[in-house]
């Protein structure tokens, strides 16, 4: 297959590109090379890979392809709270431009695959069931609102123009090549540099943590199942408190997890702080052969 990947120099996108090339597919990678993009990657000279340095808001042409998969996004919640304009521009206006380009292809129109987030649901009360795909979207911050708005655009283009789509809402990804503004990568860099790790509130906020390659496997399971016009949750069933992330990574550095207080600096909650995210993944499991990893905790990265 031929893929147009947006944001393929970023964290999750780069893992998709790597997997696609390993599977023998061709990739056109559109990336505006922001601060979180990788300047060099091992497949830069691969014969089936081409980097197009551009902004998805501004591109006027899509190369011939079977699937457009949109990883490109501003994603750091704190940044969206302090300055939301770039999130609206990239996550909403950029998605709109891509949809217009897909709509304009009268022949061999590609599938539009949107990478969304569990944050579009808002937070999950501690004793409540995990969110399913049919639950109401109630985003808590400008980042998650911009991702929810992008989803609404996609649904409207499917209804009005017949654009085929898939939307995936994944939980917190972690793994190699992640920019250190995210918690797991931040913990690793802080331990290496002997700095304290900033944690919101008391460190008891809960997230589901999925290894990035498991998310990519789920995405490919949908692509290879020839599914269209559906939305799917992707998560690991691996809920951990933020403070437990710190304790787990301390073990990687042979540090005594009982002394975690020596390595943490508690900071004020962010505005609109979500307490917990939890996803029900029965739909993707009933639709594909993908299954959540049976392991719990985190896969060691150092």
Residues 172-209: tens digit of each pLDDT: 999 999 999 899 999 999 999 999 999 999 899 999 99
What φ, ψ does residue 66 adopt, rounded to 5°?
Answer: -90, -35
Q: Are the beta carbons of 94 and 72 closer than 8 angstroms?
A: yes
Query: What 3-state DSSP class applies to 41?
Result: coil
Q: Are the beta carbons of 51 and 13 closer than 8 angstroms?
A: no
What pLDDT score does 218 carry? 98
| pLDDT class of 295 with cuts at 50, 70, 90 | low
pTM score above 0.85: yes
Angstrom distance (rounded) from CA 223 to CA 221:
6
Q: Are the beta carbons of 93 and 154 closer than 8 angstroms?
A: no
Provide the annotated active-site residues.
Answer: 118-119, 143
β-partners of residue 52 are 30
Query: Which token pair is 35?
Result: 């601060």
Query: What 3-state DSSP class applies to 57?
Result: coil
β-partners of residue 2 are 26
> CA-CA distances (angstroms) from residue 209 to 131, 162, 235?
15, 34, 7
Angstrom distance (rounded) from CA 93 to CA 208:
29
Which domains occur in the chain, in start order? 2-175+210-236+278-287 (3.40.50.720)
pLDDT digits (tens, 9 = 90+) for 114-163: 999 999 999 887 767 899 999 999 999 999 999 999 999 999 999 999 99
Angstrom distance (rounded) from CA 251 to CA 247:
7
């Amino acid at each position: 297959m031929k893929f147009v990947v947006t944001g393929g120099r970023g964290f999750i996108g780069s893992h998709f590109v790597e997997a696609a090339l390993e599977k023998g597919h061709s990739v056109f990678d559109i990336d505006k090379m922001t601060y979180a993009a990788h300047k060099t990657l091992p497949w830069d000279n691969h014969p089936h890979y081409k980097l197009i340095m551009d902004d998805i808001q501004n591109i006027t042409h899509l190369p011939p392809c079977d699937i457009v998969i949109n990883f490109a996004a501003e994603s750091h919640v704190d940044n969206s709270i302090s300055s939301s304009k770039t999130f609206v521009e990239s996550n909403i206006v950029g998605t709109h431009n891509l949809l217009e380009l897909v709509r304009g292809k009268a022949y061999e129109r590609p599938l539009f695959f949107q990478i969304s987030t569990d944050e579009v649901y808002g937070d999950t009360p501690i004793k409540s069931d995990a969110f399913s795909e049919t639950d109401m979207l109630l985003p808590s911050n400008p980042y998650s609102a911009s991702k929810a708005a992008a989803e609404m655009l996609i649904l409207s283009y499917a209804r009005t123009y017949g654009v085929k789509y898939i939307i995936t809402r994944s939980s917190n990804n972690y793994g190699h090549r992640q920019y250190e503004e995210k918690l797991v990568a931040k913990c690793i860099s802080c331990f290496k540099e002997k700095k304290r790790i900033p944690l919101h509130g008391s460190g008891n906020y809960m997230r589901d943590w999925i290894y990035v390659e498991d998310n990519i496997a789920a995405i490919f399971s949908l692509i290879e199942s020839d599914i269209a016009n559906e939305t799917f949750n992707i998560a690991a069933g691996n809920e951990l408190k933020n403070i437990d992330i710190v304790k787990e990574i301390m073990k990687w550095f042979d540090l005594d997890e009982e002394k975690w207080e020596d390595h943490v600096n508690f900071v004020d909650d962010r505005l609109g702080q979500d307490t917990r995210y939890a996803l029900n993944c029965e739909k993707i499991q009933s639709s594909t052969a993908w299954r959540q990893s049976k392991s719990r905790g985190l896969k060691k990265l150092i």
